[in-house]
Structure 1
Amino acid sequence: MQKLIVTGAANGIGRATVEKAIEAGYFVIGTDKDAAGLKALTHRYGDDVLDTQVADFTDDAVIKRFIPEIYARHQSIYALINNAGIYHGKSIYAYSDDEVDDILNVNLKALVYLSKDFAEREMRHEASRCIVNIASVAGEVGSCDALYGATKAAVIGLTKANAWNFAPFVRVNAVSPALIHDTAIYDRIPTYRRDEYARQEILKQPILPGGVADIILLVISDAMRHITGRVIPVDNGAYPR
């Protein structure tokens, strides 16, 4: 049974990815700062297919020890899904110093350390492995939340660089969602920005977390074995690029 790490596993895209991955036959290692959400997942699926760990990636020490602690319990892992993220939906002028540090840690620094620590261990096996980073259309076309947009643009750059760094054994791709309904982020997006996203969509069925999870599982599948360093949009055709 192949094993996946999913960060931000308790809610939204992360939870949908956990659920669909288990249904597809993977063993999932899920992490989130939401202990109650992780407990609910464990209650539903059990520890035969799910291992959960509470982790808050605003903390530097947690970021740096996360992968070593996972490998103390698991010998080898097939894929890392870097999904955890922060979105405030507010002006850069409204950010506190602590909020600046937190969003940089969760949205970018955690991906740097988790990715390199995962790849360093898995490249030794000289077998196919995967990293999927969750970016955002905000990293491609901009965001009213400048720090969110900046970190997601950096995620895209990190994805492309690490596709080179970790080749030939670890494929690294980004999935870039646009307006995703039924998530905590959706309610924080200013109304005018939500309306603009919706106006740009040429397919009109609302994108739900499960729709993004479907693409994540496709990206880590053998069907995508020749694809690395790419940004894969999930956006109902908005912002053609």
Structure 2
Amino acid sequence: MTSTPRTTLIVGAGSSLGPAVVDAFAERGDRVLGTVRSGSAPGLPPDRTLSLDLLDPASLDGAVAACRERVGRLDVVVFLAGVLPGDPLSAYTDERIAEVLTVNVGAQAALLRRLLPLLTDGARVVMTASVSGERGSFDPVYAASKAAVIGLVKSLATWLAPGVRVNAVSPALVEGSGMYREMAPERRATHRERTPTGRLVTPEEVARVMADICEPAWAGLNGQVIGVNGGAHV
């Protein structure tokens, strides 16, 4: 638990990583808010849940206004929201390409721009990249969106410093994630066999890294992409 309680916003608290990330920050004593597109955020009461549709600019404005009204300032913002179709380029429509790029990077940049006035001095921003953005993927649009996240992080780390630190966590296949559940057993086995540790990472392990790098001990970490992949990509 941190000595001074922080206010942390989890964008995409209803995602596969959401519950573990909410728990990781809550265990440190943070006052955690989470966004969901619909319904409720696992582990959060209604007054800590914000409605957010990343495809709707008015929804971005509404979520920021709700943040300002409920907590005023933010110490940590973690971006988890994303879309992963898992398709080759030939299967994409123009509309689907725009959706993936918007949800995975464009709207997240737009939301962060709106949140900047709420960030405290010394605030931390953590974005979710992917091993796909570093080495490519069968789904090239998703990979491109995650590569753009990495470029965004490295740029913001320069231009928002010293008041804000910006880093990314870049997992490979996460056990129990939406992608994992939709994957054929033989594909899961292939991912596991290609991982030097012989196992896939869990949501709790990814969440722990995200929470840890927001601690004061990591004050020198800025503009970095932390691979959490068991050595599958080095």
TM-score, L = length of structure 1: 0.88
User: Which residue in the other structure is 1:217 paired with?
Assistant: 211
User: Which residue in the other structure is 1:82 paired with?
Assistant: 79
Find the partner of 1:128 among 118, 122, 125.
122
User: Which residue in the other structure is 1:10 paired with?
Assistant: 14
Is 1:229 the equivalent of 2:233? no
Q: Distance in 2 between matches of 1:131 and 1:214?
A: 15
Q: 1:34 to 1:203 in 2, by over 3 A?
A: farther
User: Which residue in the other structure is 2:142 paired with?
Assistant: 148
User: Which residue in the other structure is 1:109 paired with?
Assistant: 106
Is 1:164 the equivalent of 2:158? yes
The structure whose residues are more often helix, as a share, is 1
Q: How many residues align?
A: 230
User: Which residue in the other structure is 2:26 paired with?
Assistant: 22
Root-mean-square deviation (CA, aligned residues, Å) is 2.0
Q: In 1, are the aligned partners of 2:157 and 2:166 still within 8 Å (CA)?
A: yes
Gaps of 5+ in 2: none
Q: Distance in 1 between matches of 2:137 and 2:14?
A: 25
Q: In 2, are the aligned partners of 1:10 and 1:41 still within 8 Å (CA)?
A: no
After superposition, what is the alpha-carbon deviation per residue over 1:123-181, rounded to whole angstroms, capped at 9, x for unaligned?
xx5x2110000000000000111111000000000000000110101000000000101
Q: In 2, are the aligned partners of 1:59 and 1:105 still within 8 Å (CA)?
A: no
Point out the more displaced range, 52-61 or 4-13: 52-61
TM-score, L = length of structure 2: 0.90
Given residue 75 of structure 2, which amino acid in structure 1 is its aligned partner? Y
Q: In 1, are the aligned partners of 2:74 and 2:118 still within 8 Å (CA)?
A: no
Gaps of 5+ in 1: none
Q: Distance in 1 between matches of 2:100 and 2:232?
A: 26
Q: Distance in 1 between matches of 2:196 and 2:231?
A: 5
Q: Distance in 1 between matches of 2:189 and 2:154?
A: 31
After superposition, what is the alpha-carbon deviation per residue over 1:10-63, rounded to whole angstroms, capped at 9, x for unaligned?
23212210012112211111011141x42x533xxx46xx60012121223323
Percent of aligned pairs sharing the same letter: 31
Q: Distance in 1 between matches of 2:184 and 2:12?
A: 23
User: Which residue in the other structure is 1:41 paired with?
Assistant: 43
Q: Distance in 2 between matches of 1:192 and 1:156?
A: 30
Kindly state the Cα deviation for residue 190 of structure 1 after the two structures are TM-superposed. Answer: 6.5
Find the partner of 1:139 among 126, 133, 138.
133
Q: 1:239 to 1:196 in 2, by over 3 A?
A: farther
Q: In 2, are the aligned partners of 1:91 and 1:144 still within 8 Å (CA)?
A: yes
Provide the secondary structure at the position in 2 that maps to 1:201.
Answer: coil
Q: In 2, are the aligned partners of 1:115 and 1:131 still within 8 Å (CA)?
A: no
Q: Which runs of 4+ in 1 moved over 4 A?
A: 189-196
Given residue 56 of structure 2, which amino acid in structure 1 is its aligned partner? D
Given residue 229 of structure 2, which amino acid in structure 1 is its aligned partner? D
Q: Distance in 2 between matches of 1:72 and 1:101?
A: 32
